[in-house]
Structures are given as C-alpha cells and as structure tokens.
Amino acid sequence: MAIPLTEPFRISGGTMRTRRSLIVELTDASGAVGYGESAPFERPFYSGETLYSAKACHIQHLFPKIKGQTFGSLDVAVHSLEKGIRDNRMARAGIETALWDLVCAKTGVSLRVLLAACMQRLGVPEAMRASRTYVESGAALGIPEGDSLVDLAEQAQLALEAGYKRIKVKVEPGFDVAPVKAVRDAAHAIGRKVRIWADANGSYSREKDMVALQELDREGLVLLEQPLSPDDVLGTIKLAHEIVTPVCVDESLVDDRAAQLLLESDGPKVWNLKIQRVGGLWEGVKIYQRAVEGGVKLWAGTMPETGIGAHAILCLGAFSGFVYPTDVAPSKRWYEPGADLIEMHMDGQGHVSVSDTPGLHRFKIKEKLEKVGRVVG
C-alpha cells in the first residue's frame, strides 16, 4: 500500500516521500475481520527492519504461526507470534494489532475498553487505567529542503495557528540550535507561546558532539529526544545526568526488558512509546505498566502510520499515564484529503478524538485499499 505525502518528511537518517505500509487483514472462521499495520521504512535508517523484510517475515514466519489455528485467548495468540522469532517487531506489530482489532470486531468492545481490561489483568493501578476521549496533538517538523529556516518558521506558525500543542523540531549535527531559535522566533512573531523539543533520532555522539549538545541544553527545550545512537544506552543514561534538559528515549526503547534496564540503571524518565517499535499493543501495555509504576512520563509516538496504525496509538495514548502531546496528527498533516485509510481530524484546541468503534472494518477499509494497494494477509 502506498500513499504519497503532501510534502517530504526528512529526519537525520533519511527522507520519506510516500507512506508505504503493509496492511494486514485477518479473518476468522466466523467471518469476523481485523486490521493492523506494519510501518517500517523502505530503507533501514530508523531501525534494522524495512518494508521488504517485514513482508518476508509476514509470509514466511508469522502468518504460518496463526493460519488455521484456534487460540483460547488474545494473549495466547499474541505470544505465539514471539516464539522462535527475534526482533522483527514492526512486522509483528501489524499482525498483533490486527488480532486485537479482530477481538474488538467479534465482541463489540472498543479497543480502549479492551486495553483497560488488559491493564487490569496485569495489575495496572486503577487511576492509571483511566482514559480520555481525545489526545493532544503535537506537530513534528522535519528538516526542511535545503535546511531552510524560513520554511521551517512558516511551518511552525501554521502549526501553532492550527492548534497544535507543541512543536517538535528534527535536528542533526550542524542543524540544531538555529532551527530551535527559528521556531521560537516564529512563535513570538505571531504572539504565541510554544513548547519546543528537539528530536535527533540518534544522530549525535556524546564523545564528539558534547559542545553541540550543551548548546541545545541552553535553549530551554521541553525535551531532547533520542540524542545518541539507540544502542548507546549507557551514554544516554550518562548524558541524562549531565544536562538540564530532560532526555527522552525513543529508538532505544524496543521492549519491556529495555524499559526495565532504563529504570534499574537510573536512566531517562521520559519515554516515547511507539506501538510499531515495541512489537504491538501487548508489549506496549507491559511498558506502560512499568512506566507508571516507575514514575516515568510517557508520550505516544508515530512512524507516522496511516489511520489504521494511528488508531492503535490513539487508544493507548489516551490513558492517563501519557502526559505529553502525541505525534498522532490529523490526516491532512501527511496526506491529501480522503487519501488516508481512516481519516483523523483535529479540532481547534489541538485534540484528536479517540474512536470507540468496535472494529476497524466499520470504516470500509477494504474499499479504500483497492485504490492504494492490496491487502497482505
């Protein structure tokens, strides 16, 4: 499946011009249908997975694990996807979230209610099982063509006028302090206060780029997201104690074990929880439980996905342990009107509503897929 973006989205590792995803459709013996999405990039600049490796994993390894099988419960079905398969989390996330959606379709229960029941079973405190009917949306601004600060400033002003609750600026060595200042100045020019954080996607080195990181630290950022390489967890923990700006982990948070390591090592206490990156909703709930018990501040990130993947993020990100604005944005932020598989909308207060529709099949996804690509499944 492929949907062109309205404009290129560039991060430190590469540029996306089209959202290509694997849309998973699962059908059970009764005819009930569930949908999910695997959304790695075409090139491995964000993680080791690609669209092509995920598709191969689906066909050769994951679908055979569930095809024709009967499972007594959702967790048994989910855990069957993990046996004998390391990593490949984005591949698993597409099928795993489709399993959740299939249960919603069969039972008539919304995903948000199903998640709350899972949290209760795992022992998440009652207060942390409360959820909202919306999430606050924050704008993520990519590195502009030609590193144009004028274009970046214009994008920031448009985002603030649309109601976004914060501005996240993609940065890399050599393009960091200047874009942060440009966004702040742009906000002041239209009389707006703005919460800014910078996202490096692991492009800095603590040994080589400490001066640049210290300069960013003086900019009064809300967060500095994934400044160091994802596998430099020790360096990230050290950096979090060396600067004032709260460090947020993104790519380093790959599963519940990584979350446990961060807590036991006195690591950063702000986490970007992405359903794709951790392998699905079940692992996401386990990380959520660990975070709220460990005093971690959460927010829900995106790749970005289509509305199918965004639905899963919205439902989990609506729970009270998520305290920062999400990256889930209205569909028009990424795609032309009507192009998204499920249209997401944002009101003037920067709120994106959480759908409590029990099952994504009700959004007539199959008809839309015929226009943009075929179902894998």
pLDDT confidence of residue 1: 85
2-109 and 126-357 in the same fold:
no
Number of Cβ within a 10 Å radius of residue 195:
17
Higher-confidence position of 39 and 373 = 39
pLDDT confidence of residue 318: 98
Hey, which residues does 375 pair with through a beta bridge?
A: none
> Does the structural domain 2-109 have CATH classification 3.30.390.10?
yes
Q: What is the separation of C-alpha 298 from the centre of its chain, rounded to a whole number of angstroms?
A: 12
pLDDT tens, 57-98? 999 999 999 999 999 999 999 999 999 999 999 999 999 999
CATH of 126-357, one of 3.50.50.60, 3.20.20.120, 3.40.50.150, 3.30.450.70: 3.20.20.120
Pairing of strands 167-170, 139-141: parallel
Could you give the CA distance from residue 71 to residue 256 in angstroms, rounded to a whole number? 24
Please answer whether residues 90 and 37 qualify as being in contact, where contact means their C-beta atoms are separated by less than 8 angstroms.
no
pLDDT tens, 294-334? 999 999 999 999 999 999 999 999 999 999 999 999 999 99
Query: In the chain, what are the domain boundaries?
Result: 2-109, 126-357
Q: Is the pLDDT of residue 368 over 90?
A: no
The tokens for 229 are 């390489």
Could you give the CA distance from residue 201 to residue 215 in angstroms, rounded to a whole number? 18
pLDDT tens, 136-146? 999 999 999 99
Q: Is the pLDDT of residue 376 over 60?
A: no
Please answer whether residues 351 and 340 qualify as being in contact, where contact means their C-beta atoms are separated by less than 8 angstroms.
no
Please answer whether residues 76 and 113 qualify as being in contact, where contact means their C-beta atoms are separated by less than 8 angstroms.
no
In angstroms, how far is the first alpha carbon of the chain from the final one?
Answer: 13
Half-sphere exposure of 83 (CA within 13 A, CB side): 10
Hey, what amino acid is at 171?
V
pTM of the model: 0.95
pLDDT tens, 124-167? 999 999 999 999 999 999 999 999 999 999 999 999 999 999 99
Q: Is the pLDDT of residue 374 over 60?
A: no
Q: Tell me the average pLDDT across 239-258.
A: 98
pLDDT tens, 188-212? 999 999 999 999 999 999 999 999 9
**Average pLDDT over the chain, rounded to an integer:** 95
pLDDT confidence of residue 377: 39
**Burial of residue 260, with CB atoms counted within 10 A of its CB: 0-12 exposed, 13-18 middle, 19 or more buried:** middle
Q: Is the pLDDT of residue 349 over 80?
A: yes
pLDDT tens, 8-23? 999 998 999 999 999 9
pLDDT tens, 103-122? 999 999 999 999 999 999 99
Helices 89-107 and 111-122 cross at an angle (nearest 10°) of 110
pLDDT confidence of residue 375: 43
Q: Tell me the average pLDDT across 280-303.
A: 97
pLDDT confidence of residue 153: 97
185 contacts: CB under 8 Å, gap ≥ 6:
153
pLDDT confidence of residue 373: 66
Q: How confident is the model at residue 181 (pLDDT cuts 50, 70, 90)?
A: very high
